[in-house]
Amino acid sequence: MIKRTIEISREPAHLAVRLDQLHIQRNVRDEWNYTSIPCEDIGVLLVDHPQVTYSHYALARLMEFGAAVVVCGRNHLPVGMLMPLSSHTEVVWRLQDQLSVSKPLKKQLWRQLVVAKIRAQAANLEDKTPARSKLLALAREVRSGDASNVEAQAAKVYWSAWLGDSGPEGGFRRDPDGDGINALLNYGYAVLRAAVARALVSAGLLPALGIHHSNRSNAFCLADDLVEPLRPMADAQVRELYRQGHTELGQPTKAKLLALLTQEVLAGEQRGPLMVALHRMAASLVACYRGEARQLLIPTATGEAIL
- Per residue in 11-70, pLDDT (tens digit) is 889 999 999 999 999 877 677 788 999 999 999 999 998 899 999 999 999 999 989 899
Q: How many CA atoms lie within 13 A of 291 on its CB side?
A: 4
Q: Comparing C-alpha atoms, which of 229, 226, 227, 304 is closest to residue 265?
A: 304
Instruction: Write the burial class of residue 160 (CB in 10 Å: 0-12 exposed, 13-18 middle, 19+ buried).
Output: middle
Beta strands in 74-207 (DSSP E): 78-82
Q: How far apart, in Å, are the Cα atoms of 28 and each of 8, 18, 22, 55?
A: 13, 22, 18, 20
- β-pairing verdict for 264-267 and 31-38: unpaired
Residue 307's pLDDT is what?
41
Query: Across the chain, what does the average pLDDT equal?
Result: 90
Report the C-alpha gap between 16 and 35 in whole angstroms: 11
Domains detected in the chain: 4-82 (3.100.10.20), 91-301 (1.20.120.920)
Query: In whole angstroms, what separates CA 163 from the centre of its chain?
Result: 21
Instruction: Evaluate if pTM is beyond 0.95.
Output: no
Per residue in 113-125, pLDDT tens? 999 999 999 999 9
Share of the chain above pLDDT 90, in %: 65
Q: Comparing C-alpha atoms, which of 222, 221, 219, 249 is closest to residue 234?
A: 249
